[in-house]
């Protein structure tokens, strides 16, 4: 029997709550499928680790997880530590060196969940946003001088490489092709940003020629926010830069009912390094420790993890169990207007996995 090695990195805040729930659910899927097992190694990196050691993860941290089959991540973000330290010290310190350049964010209105959009009650909103996850606005290029003096200056330079844009465009066109509507929207801002974003557009048109069966259009990011709200059914697959997709996908999550539901996969498509799966939400300081975090975003991320491992049957079983549970309002956490707790939702999903006809 195959055993998959999973590195669980709960991180901070509700990250620890939802990753524990995610590990329980993965164990239940493995038990029910009986064709594979998980060996889960837990790494307590994050804000508390930082307070003790002055860094978010050990210096050889990446070596400790390099050979795992996948990473299940919670959130980086601690109320007592600046956000750029927690983010760069943990999440980006894994994504970027492991070349997880394709960040895939599906959005769908799950059964039983209400979209804030009046025109949407399910199939009208079924998107996948592909976020460039290795360069662009989050390349880390820039600097700060004369701190605190009136001469102070600071720059953040967005870095786009032809190789980086080509590979994310190809990934997005391929993903669009694999979906029934074969429809891709390339998000840009080439009216205002006249160098890198113009190259982004040019590469999109070049790569499009390899995908004659995919219909594609181009949209400025500000107009895209309006289209997501006004004409959600006109969208299917979307590709956008690191920053643009970061913002658009929080909007997408809200339009699908709650940030607590939205999953993401940070993929290294060449499989040279492990890929990382995480809910898109953060540490949620306002609700941490209360036991009411919605774990569905983590469970859906676990579905993406199973798909990445190639176990379609397990992935389908878990997704069906999730949908059965969201359809039942008794299992809605407060972010969805209910009173259920993280543990109630977890238990219900495990029961749905174990169910005779599940």
Residues found near ligand NAD in the complex (CB under 6 A): 14, 75-77, 83, 86-87, 91, 259-260, 278, 281-287, 293-294, 297, 333, 335
Torsion of CA 50, 53, 55, 56, to 10 degrees: -50
What is the distance between the terminal CA atoms of the chain, rounded to a whole angstrom?
22
Q: Minimum CB separation from ligand NAD for residue 99, in Å?
A: 18
Question: Which residues ranging from 301 to 340 are in contact with Mn ion (CB under 5 A)?
Answer: none
Please state, in angstroms and rounded to a whole number, the distance separating the CA atoms of residues 167 and 159: 15
Helix (H, G, I), strand (E, B) or coil at 215: strand
Residue (69 or 246) nearer to Mn ion, CB: 246
Helix (H, G, I), strand (E, B) or coil at 34: coil
Residue (213 or 286) nearer to ligand NAD, CB: 286
Residue (78 or 167) nearer to ligand NAD, CB: 78
Among Mn ion, ligand NAD, none, what does residue 335 contact (CB within 5–8 Å per kind)? ligand NAD
Contact residues for 273 (Cβ-Cβ < 8 A; gap 6+): 66, 97, 98, 99, 100
Residue (236 or 246) nearer to Mn ion, CB: 246
* Residue closest to Mn ion when measured from CB atoms: 246
Of 86-94, 242-250, 297-305, 344-352, the window that binds Mn ion (rule: CB under 5 A) is 242-250
Question: Phi and psi of 214, rounded to 5°?
Answer: -100, 130
Among Mn ion, ligand NAD, none, what does residue 77 contact (CB within 5–8 Å per kind)? ligand NAD
Q: Which two tokens stand for residue 213?
A: 């069966």
Q: Minimum CB separation from ligand NAD for residue 349, in Å?
A: 14
Helix (H, G, I), strand (E, B) or coil at 272: coil
Q: Minimum CB separation from ligand NAD for residue 244, in Å?
A: 16
Question: Phi and psi of 197, rounded to 5°?
Answer: -70, -25
Site residues, Mn ion (CB under 5 A) = 246
């Amino acid at each position: 029997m195959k055993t998959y090695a999973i590195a669980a990195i709960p991180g901070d805040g509700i990250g620890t709550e939802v990753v524990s729930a995610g590990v329980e659910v993965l164990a239940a899927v493995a038990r029910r499928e009986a064709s594979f097992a998980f060996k889960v190694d837990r790494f307590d990196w994050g804000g508390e680790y930082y307070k003790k050691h002055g860094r978010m993860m050990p210096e050889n941290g990446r070596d400790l997880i390099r050979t795992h089959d996948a990473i299940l991540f919670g959130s980086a973000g601690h109320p007592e530590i600046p956000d750029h330290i927690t983010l760069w010290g943990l999440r980006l310190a894994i994504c970027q060196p492991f070349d997880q350049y394709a960040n895939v964010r599906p959005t769908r209105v799950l059964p039983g969940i209400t979209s804030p959009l009046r025109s949407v009650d399910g199939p009208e909103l079924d998107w996948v946003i592909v976020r460039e996850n290795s360069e662009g606005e989050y390349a880390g290029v820039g600097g700060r001088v004369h701190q605190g003096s009136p001469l102070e200056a600071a720059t953040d330079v967005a870095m786009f490489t032809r190789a980086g844009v080509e590979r994310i465009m190809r990934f997005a066109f391929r993903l669009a092709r694999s979906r029934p509507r074969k429809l891709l929207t390339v998000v840009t801002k080439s009216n205002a940003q006249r160098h890198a974003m113009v190259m982004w557009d040019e590469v999109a048109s070049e790569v499009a020629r390899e995908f004659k069966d995919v219909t594609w259009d181009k949209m400025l990011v500000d107009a895209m926010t309006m289209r997501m709200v006004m004409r959600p059914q006109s969208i299917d697959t979307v590709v956008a830069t690191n920053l643009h997709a970061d913002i658009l996908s929080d909007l997408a999550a809200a339009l699908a009912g709650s940030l607590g539901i939205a999953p993401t996969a940070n993929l290294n498509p060449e499989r040279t390094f492990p890929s990382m799966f995480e809910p898109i939400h953060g540490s949620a300081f306002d609700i941490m420790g209360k036991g009411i975090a919605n774990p569905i975003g983590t469970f859906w991320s676990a579905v993406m993890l199973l798909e990445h491992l190639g176990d379609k049957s397990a992935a389908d079983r878990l997704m069906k169990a999730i949908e059965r549970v969201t359809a039942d309002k008794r299992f809605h956490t407060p972010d969805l207007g209910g009173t259920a707790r993280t543990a109630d939702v977890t238990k219900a999903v495990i029961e749905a996995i174990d169910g005779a006809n599940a």
